Amino acid sequence: MIRSQTMLISQNMEDNIMKCFKILVFLLVIWASIITPLSAGWNSCIGCHNGTLAPDKDKLKEKHKTIDSFISAAQSTQNDLMKSIQKDVKSLQEAAKEIGLQ
């Protein structure tokens, strides 16, 4: 009798852990879908474009007068760090607008 109660409690704990895990995964997916769009644009550039590793916002704005010039330069660079963003025109446009280009 005690053994069957212990097994029942153990099974209930496993069920509860699994439910919690499923909820956690669900919340993680929701969080990722919210955060990913927020990291687009200039926010995704700040890490490197800080004036030390790569030109900062002011230098880029000084060098590129238009959004098209900015995008063209980003897409034509041979820097490996830019490979992930080069085809993402929407993010490049957002970044250009956020630094004040038109």
pLDDT tens, position by position, 24-82: 888 877 766 665 555 568 888 988 999 999 999 999 999 999 999 999 999 999 999 89
Give the C-alpha separation, 40 to 26, whole Å: 23
Per-residue pLDDT, 36:
54
**Average pLDDT, stretch 78-94?**
91
Is 70 exceeded by the pLDDT of residue 96? yes
Is 90 exceeded by the pLDDT of residue 93? yes
Name the residue with tokens 């820097």: 79
Q: Residues 59, 51: contact at Cβ < 8 Å? A: yes
81 vs 3, more confident: 81
Nearest to 64 by CA among 79, 49, 83: 49
Per-residue pLDDT, 8:
67
